[in-house]
């Protein structure tokens, strides 16, 4: 036997030398759910370890994360039902607590990187990402709302706009609206290949944002389709996106890899709520070795080709790294 691959696995020194992929804290984006009010830090049943924070508490949370070396965050608002309407008008209202919280975080932590969510669902009384008329999701009319939302977020100091709605043409529309308002330096991380996935369940519980009727299959992608992701990516590149996101991450590693091979833009991947919940549930039952399984999961997403990983595991990963608990 001339070839013995095991020789390159003989010691940790050798394994570490030949290791092809390394995960860095700089790759991770930590999702934060925010609510209006003060003194709130409400846990979320299906997302153990994750909370909905009011402004005062989220500032503390960001501080803790920054000390751990995490600098990037993606923010989602949990909006009271009474403030929701068909046109999602609260999304760009001056009263919107989400916009206020973005400004406060940027004021206190200018070196942080904040990613927004642009979609109507947290603000929509229909629970859809677009305007609903007679059971149909209107595309072009929705773009106007998304444009206003993006500009309002840019005004509040966001670094990266994250359209998660999957309407056609929204990247270009948002880019033009931002540029018209002199926000040419605000980037767009497009949820490019976003699938109609059951794995968003815990997230919708966190925001109480599930559709009131119907599903999201006329705008989010069919889980069976890979080549269609190329079409979405080509359009987003042409429309001015700065990042291409694949979501969910773990169930769509092939799509991450495909986009990485074909496009020059950085690839982001969203390790979604259901992927987090599965691992947490298995580890709570003692069915899996969490400390090994969790980093393995994040590494797989990076190995597939993503450099920005949106993950609820980010803070724990940073803690484990700090405490020397990572193998």
Q: In the complex, which residues of this chain contact ligand PBG (CB under 6 A)?
A: 117, 119, 121, 129, 164-165, 200, 203-204, 216, 272-273
Tell the smallest beta-carbon distance from residue 195 to ligand PBG (Å). Answer: 10
Tell the smallest beta-carbon distance from residue 127 to ligand PBG (Å). Answer: 9
Cα–chain center distance at 274: 13
Structural Rg of the chain based on CA atoms = 20
Tell the smallest beta-carbon distance from residue 164 to ligand PBG (Å). Answer: 4
Tell the smallest beta-carbon distance from residue 24 to ligand PBG (Å). Answer: 22
Q: In whole angstroms, give the CA distance from residue 74 to residue 153.
A: 13
Inter-residue contact 52 to 26 (CB < 8 Å) = no
Q: In whole angstroms, give the CA distance from residue 238 to residue 255.
A: 19
Looking at the Cβ atoms of 53 and 203, the one nearer to ligand PBG is: 203
Backbone φ, ψ for residue 104 (5° rounding): -65, -40
Helix axes 314-322, 290-304, angle to 10 degrees: 110
Find where tokens 């977020």 sit.
153
Find where tokens 């929509």 sit.
124
User: Which residues have a catalytic role annotated?
Assistant: 194, 247
DSSP state letters, 154-199: HHTT-SEE-B-S--TTHHHHHHHHHHHTT-TTSEEEEEEEEB--GG
Q: In whole angstroms, give the CA distance from residue 103 to residue 95.
A: 13
Tell the smallest beta-carbon distance from residue 39 to ligand PBG (Å). Answer: 25
Tell the smallest beta-carbon distance from residue 13 to ligand PBG (Å). Answer: 38
Looking at the Cβ atoms of 216 and 260, the one nearer to ligand PBG is: 216
Tokens of residue 85, six digits: 């309407």
Looking at the Cβ atoms of 63 and 201, the one nearer to ligand PBG is: 201
Looking at the Cβ atoms of 63 and 214, the one nearer to ligand PBG is: 214
Cα dihedral value 167, 172, 175, 176, nearest 10: -120
Looking at the Cβ atoms of 36 and 121, the one nearer to ligand PBG is: 121
Inter-residue contact 44 to 51 (CB < 8 Å) = yes
If residue 192 lies in a helix (H) or strand (E), which one and from where to where? Answer: strand 187-194
Three-state DSSP class for 317? helix
Cα–chain center distance at 322: 24
Looking at the Cβ atoms of 87 and 181, the one nearer to ligand PBG is: 87
Among the listed residues 218, 286, 226, the one whose alpha carbon sits nearest the alpha carbon of residue 252? 226
Tokens of residue 33, six digits: 């759910």
């Amino acid at each position: 036997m001339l070839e013995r691959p095991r020789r390159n696995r003989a010691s940790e020194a050798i394994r570490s030398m030949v290791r092809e992929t390394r995960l860095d804290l700089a790759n991770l984006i930590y999702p934060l759910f925010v609510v209006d009010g003060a003194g709130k830090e409400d846990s979320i049943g299906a997302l153990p370890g994750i909370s909905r924070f009011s402004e005062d508490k989220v500032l503390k949370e960001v501080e803790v994360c920054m000390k751990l070396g995490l600098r990037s965050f993606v923010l989602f608002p949990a909006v009271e039902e009474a403030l929701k309407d068909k046109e999602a008008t609260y999304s760009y209202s001056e009263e919107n607590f989400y916009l206020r919280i973005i400004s406060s975080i940027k004021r206190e932590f200018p070196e942080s990187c904040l990613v927004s969510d642009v979609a109507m669902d947290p603000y929509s009384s229909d629970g859809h990402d677009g305007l609903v008329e007679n059971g149909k999701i209107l595309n072009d009319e929705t773009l106007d709302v998304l444009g206003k939302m993006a500009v309002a977020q840019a005004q509040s100091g966001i670094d990266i706009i994250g359209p998660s709605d999957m309407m056609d043409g929204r990247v270009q529309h948002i880019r033009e609206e931002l540029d018209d308002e002199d926000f040419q330096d605000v980037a767009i991380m497009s949820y490019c290949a976003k699938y109609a996935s059951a794995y968003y369940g815990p997230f919708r519980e966190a925001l109480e944002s599930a559709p009131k009727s119907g599903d999201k299959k006329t705008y989010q992608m069919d889980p069976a389709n890979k080549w269609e992701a190329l079409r979405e990516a080509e359009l987003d590149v042409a429309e001015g996106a700065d990042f291409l996101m694949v979501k969910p991450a773990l169930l769509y590693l092939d799509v991450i890899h495909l986009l990485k091979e074909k496009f020059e833009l950085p690839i982001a991947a969203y390790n979604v709520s259901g992927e987090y919940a599965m691992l947490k549930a298995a580890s709570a039952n003692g069915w899996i070795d969490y400390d090994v399984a969790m980093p393995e999961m994040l590494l797989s997403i990076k190995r597939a080709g993503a450099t920005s990983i949106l993950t609820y595991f980010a803070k724990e990963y940073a803690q484990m790294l700090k405490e020397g608990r990572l193998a």
